[in-house]
A and B are shown apart, each in its own frame.
Chain A
Amino acid sequence: MSLTAKDKETVKAFWAKVAPKAEDIGQDALSRMLAVYPQTKTYFSHWKDMSAGSAPVKKHGATVMGGVADAVTKIDDLTSGLLSLSELHAFTLRVDPANFKILAHNILVVFAIKFPSDFTPEVHVSVDKFLAALARALSEKYR
């Protein structure tokens, strides 16, 4: 299920629309993930405050979306483009890769909320494929 030329085009066009709101999207998606999938909170036990709108959630949401933005620019070769991020997740953060899917789902929910008419089924499938490819690239160095 690799990205077609059309997928890449669709993702870039949609990203151009959502990029101005990237930090908000990141914060919202992360808050939802922590609320709806409480097992994900285990990775953030070092945060004093995990509530929606808290400073660590805001900051981390922005960091995550910065990574996604970077991935969009490297969409033609995610595996080599995200090499160092993969090493970070594999050796330092050691996030179970199953969680990438969970976060991706919540990013999609926030896209639907904030861009109801732009997030058509056709855009949804390309973005879903892109986030899955991103997750695969992030998992590259795990074993």
Chain B
Amino acid sequence: MVAWSDQERSIITSIFSNLDYNDVGPKALIRCLIVYPWTQRYFASFGNLYNADAIKTNPNIQAHGTKILHGLDRAVKNMDDIKTTYAELSVLHSEKLHVDPDNFKLLADCLTIVIAAKMGSGFTPEIQETFQKFLAVVVSALGKQYH
């Protein structure tokens, strides 16, 4: 059980209520596929990912980036038990998608960079700390059901 202060809860809900999911989601996924190209292994069926421009304009990647970010909504709404909330998603990523859980951290880092770029100096060290704490809990929960 992770403990959240009132301030941490309000930081997280504030970040997500001010998000343009259709912008930030795709940006984070695109960045992950470019910065850590081995992550492209999970998207073989998505079409042309041969270079950065192809990745940036790929409509499947666009749609999937948005989907992933909306997946975080469940964690935002259930901050007191992210582990249980994501049990099913963890099984999915392990049994069906076969995603190496190390990749969750890579995507989380890219999302942090995208949010930092968006919020500018508003992304203070304190807010960064809370956001990274939240993502670490999500990443841990997503890896929990792997065996």
Contact = CB atoms under 8 A, between A and B. Distances in A.
B125 A121 contact: no
Interface string A113-127: 100100101101100
B35 A128 contact: yes
A15 to B, nearest CB: 18
A122 B30 CA distance: 10
Interface string B115-147: 011111101011011001000000000000000
B26 to A, nearest CB: 11
Interface string A24-62: 000000011001100000000000000010000000000
Nearest to A51: B125
Contacts of B35: 121, 124-125, 128
21 contacts: A35-B128, A35-B129, A36-B129, A109-B113, A109-B116, A109-B123, A109-B128, A112-B116, A113-B120, A113-B121, A116-B117, A116-B118, A116-B120, A119-B113, A121-B34, A121-B56, A122-B34, A124-B31, A124-B34, A124-B35, A128-B35
**Highest count of chain B CB atoms <10 Å: which of A105, A108, A121, A125:** A121
Interface in B20-57: 30-31, 34-35, 52, 56
Tell me whether chain A's interface is mostly helix, strand or loop, or mixed.
helix
Interface of A: 31-32, 35-36, 52, 105, 108-109, 112-113, 116, 119, 121-122, 124-125, 128
Contacts of A109: 112-113, 116, 123, 128
Contacts of B119: 113
Nearest to B51: A122
B113 A124 contact: yes
A113 B34 contact: no
A36 B128 contact: yes
Contacts of A113: 116-117, 119-121, 123
Contact of A112 (B34, B52, B113, B126): B113
A32 B125 contact: yes
B74 to A, nearest CB: 24
Contacts of A35: 125-126, 128-129
Contacts of A36: 125, 128-129, 132
A1 B132 CA distance: 27
A108 B31 CA distance: 13
A121 to B, nearest CB: 4
